[in-house]
Structure 1
Amino acid sequence: METNSNSASSKPSASSLRWKILRQAVLPRAKNPEDGSQLGLKLVSRKAAKGFNLIPCQRLHHDHESRDARFCYTLPTQGCPKLVLTQRMDNNADLSDFEICNRHNIDNTGLVCQWPSEDVLAYFCLSHADMFRSKRVIELGSGYGLAGLTIAAATEALEVVISDGNPQVVDYILHNINTNSEAFGETRVKSMQLHWNQKEVSNLLHAFDVIVASDCTFFKEFHKDLARITELLLKKTGASQAIFFSPKRGNSLDKFLVEIKENGLLSSVTEIYDANVWKCHQRFMNGDESWPGYEKDHCYPLLLRITR
């Protein structure tokens, strides 16, 4: 999720206000030289990652003096290359992350973990490779870029742009693109910092056959910008479409669908879109201990298709 404040007259979002409150509450204490708990204050707890584990993942290396680790993802399709991604390893968010979020008026969700919906999106793209063949594709709010990299490595897409609004996240994306460059064949792959309320997108206007995103409809204050950028990026000709995976989360997804309609786009929501994903979901609903606290409304990603 991301947004950017380009207008001095625009009202601050609820999300940005929350980040500022957190910063004001914690930063002064962390900078107090008389505070003996600076190390503890510098790190704040974050959400632990659970997921569907549809794409096998193995940690390759973790330098304990570094916050990063390398993970190998084995794409479950014959002949597909393995992908190596560098991701944050620790279970904490540094206060410097929040300083950057405040400076750019964004959030840090892309740094927190590989979110479960991203795993489902990547798996779905593998199962529907024909959808991307010879197409221009962009991933929005990509985090570390698993889905975009999977499309680039396994579908013979013409071009894949992997974007996020957080400059720290974009640095990880670029690193992961360079690490896996030999896996992409003739597909052009690049990273991009893209804010959903960005005013100037002339070089991207109606340029993409397929837009993909996962877990990007959680914050309601971003709905208008996300719906708007989707309409601006989606080609006006051909069978262009956006593929989003998002849990329902109360009325959040429904409210986003209203914004999609107001931007002149059509949408459909599918609950059962893949037999393996549905099987995992049912297992978690029946109390599988590998994902304690699993709830359908907040954890199971629905498939949202957006067309003209």
Structure 2
Amino acid sequence: MDKINKNETNSDSEEEIGLGGSLIVEELETYKYEFYDDIKIEIEGQELQNVNIQPSTGLLPWPASRVLSLYISKYKEEFIGKDVVELGSGVGLCGLVSSKYTNFTLFTDGDEKSLPLLRDNVQSNSNLFNNKINNNNNSNNNNDRISIERLYWGNNQPTLDSFKEKYSNKYNFDIVIGSDLIYVDASIEPLFFTVDSILNTNKSGVGKGTFYLSFLDRKNHFPILKSVSEKYNFTMENIELNTFINYEASTMARMFIFKRNNK
């Protein structure tokens, strides 16, 4: 059973962070989770505030990350030994759960403010992948199980080109995961462009790979989601939450699995 306990901690000091920046961390809370397969995770994040004043959407655990994390731990056989990319990692919950099973997990986020907290959360839960990350300003190049990178979605993005150059020859990315990545319809096209680009680096053959996505469908994104996924040659499968969720989830909660059609 999944549990969440929050213990408020405060820090008014400015802390130096990796990736060449600094962050003022205020009112961080500790979130404790339990998932299937006896997975226990403790992470830090902010409590959800008014979206107009939230310092960064990547600094708090979103509801859909709990959904996807439960799925991963319930159906771990789908992830064992795979090379996985998480998009929009935020505080890192889903990637941490997957790292227990995968050959390699790459945490990514385009929000620079979230990366230091993501790095801290991965470090504090390194028991899941039995290896400490190399906490430096150039991500984690020396670790063979985990890495963290800044990655923007869409065409003509230097970070996506850098990703391909850095990782495509070393890892065979079978799976992309993401939670609460969709807030507006306009984000769906660049999201699937990025997913498609990542899975196209799979050396086992064009047209393979799977994208696992959970989100709260606040504005009926389904028609655009279906249209764009088909454009990129994915078959969309709606997953019934009651097959793995062990709590009362939001009525807006959705989970989809997108599988590549052979091209």
TM-score (norm 2): 0.74
| More strand per residue | 2
Distance apart, 1:192 and its partner CA: 1.4
User: For 1:258, which of 215, 220, 227 is the aligned residue?
Assistant: 227
Aligned counterparts of 1:244 and 1:77: Cα–Cα separation in 2: 21
Aligned counterparts of 2:175 and 2:66: Cα–Cα separation in 1: 18
Relative to structure 1, the CA distance from residue 122 to residue 255 in structure 2 (aligned partners, 3 Å threshold; closer, same or farther) is same
Equivalent position of 2:109 in the other structure: 164
Equivalent position of 2:84 in the other structure: 137
| More helix per residue | 1
Which whole-Å deviations, capped at 9, do the CAs of 1:229-284 have from their partners, x for residues lacking one?
Answer: 11111126365211111344444232022122222x22223242543538725xxx
Aligned counterparts of 2:54 and 2:185: Cα–Cα separation in 1: 25
Equivalent position of 2:57 in the other structure: 109
SS in 1 for 2:245: helix
The answer to whether residue 251 in structure 2 is matched with residue 303 in structure 1 is no
Question: For residues 185-224 of structure 1, what are the structure 2 equivalents within 5 Å?
Answer: 185=130, 188-197=145-154, 198-199=157-158, 200=161, 201-203=163-165, 204-205=167-168, 207-224=172-189
Contact between 1:227 and 1:256, CA under 8 Å: does it hold in 2?
A: no
Aligned counterparts of 1:117 and 1:94: Cα–Cα separation in 2: 20
Q: Where do 5+ consecutive residues of structure 2 fail to align?
A: 13-25, 132-143
Aligned counterparts of 2:243 and 2:116: Cα–Cα separation in 1: 35
Aligned counterparts of 2:153 and 2:128: Cα–Cα separation in 1: 29
Question: For residues 55-94 of structure 1, what are the structure 2 equivalents within 5 Å?
Answer: 55-60=2-7, 62-63=9-10, 65=12, 66-78=26-38, 80=39, 82-89=40-47, 91=49
The answer to whether residue 204 in structure 2 is matched with residue 237 in structure 1 is yes
CA RMSD of aligned residues (A): 2.8
Aligned counterparts of 1:174 and 1:64: Cα–Cα separation in 2: 18
Aligned counterparts of 2:260 and 2:175: Cα–Cα separation in 1: 10
Structure number, greater radius of gyration: 1
Equivalent position of 2:129 in the other structure: 184
User: For 1:120, which of 64, 67, 74 is the aligned residue?
Assistant: 67
Letter of the aligned partner of 1:266 in structure 2?
A: F
SS in 2 for 1:277: coil
Distance apart, 1:182 and its partner CA: 2.5
Identity in percent: 19
Q: Where do 5+ consecutive residues of structure 1 fail to align?
A: 1-53, 98-107, 282-293
Contact between 2:214 and 2:253, CA under 8 Å: does it hold in 1?
A: no
Which whole-Å deviations, capped at 9, do the CAs of 1:143-199 have from their partners, x for residues lacking one?
Answer: 21111111113x2x1111111110111111111111111331267112211100224
Contact between 1:72 and 1:83, CA under 8 Å: does it hold in 2?
A: yes
User: How many corresponding residue pairs?
Assistant: 224
Relative to structure 1, the CA distance from residue 151 to residue 88 in structure 2 (aligned partners, 3 Å threshold; closer, same or farther) is same
